Amino acid sequence: MKDTGVKGLDGQIAVVTGAARGIGRAVAIRLAAMGATVALVARDQGQLEALAKEIQSDGGQAVVATCDLLNPALIVQLGKRIRADYGRCDILVNNAGVGNLGQPLWEMPLEEWELLMATNLRAPYLMIQAFAPLMVEAKRGHIVNISSLAGKNPLPNGAAYAASKWGLNGLTYSVAEELRSHGVRVSVVAPGSVNTHFSGGSGKDPAKALQPDDIAQVVALLVTQAPQSFISEVLVRPTQK
């Protein structure tokens, strides 16, 4: 685990979805290095256990929280587990997502649309329902939703993915207004192309893409803002197209 030189999260509890790889993995490592205890959420228990051991071997704290985000009942159980074990949730990072790029919307099977929407939009809604009450009770907390620049622009042959991210952006902006009076800040991070398994088939040069650590650095900034500031949205673009 890389020492970021930035602490400030000692004693805090962070929940990160899609933590098994890519952006989620980088975010989990960064938050643990800053002192948080990180609940690693994904379906692949083996990958989560390996990541937890890596974090712990470097002096960090992490727990495996295997969960299928397509199952609302399991998300409710996860929220109850964190409440029972820790009594708090200071940081929620909704990162898990899927994409279906390369085909026009009119050719997209209904089951693929439903899987994409359930993962990219319904799961963040359910996670917020499960964890926002803990933050409201504490009168503090951070929710960070990982979106995409596809949620700001048209995306031919990726209309469903773009729709899910436009929806996630709208959800974020609106929930931020609902929760800010409770001391809870809700932000969205919208990256361009990131060098992960998710973009492996995009045909873009990985050397020119953003790296998962770039997004983790942004999340670290958001969750360490001074109390009087609120960064609601961050757009992250590669330096080179």
Catalytic residues: 161
CB contact at 8 A, 121 and 151: no
Strand extents, DSSP E, the chain? 13-17, 37-42, 61-66, 91-94, 141-146, 184-191, 233-236
Query: Which residues, listed in sequence order, are joined to residue 92 by a DSSP beta bridge?
Result: 15, 143
Cα–Cα distance for residue pair 139/209, rounded to 1 Å = 38
CB contact at 8 A, 9 and 223: yes
First to last CA, the chain: 30
What are the tokens at 95? 């990162």
91-94 β-sheet, strand order: 61-66, 37-42, 13-17, 91-94, 141-146, 184-191, 233-236
Cα–Cα distance for residue pair 154/139, rounded to 1 Å = 37
Cα–Cα distance for residue pair 161/116, rounded to 1 Å = 7
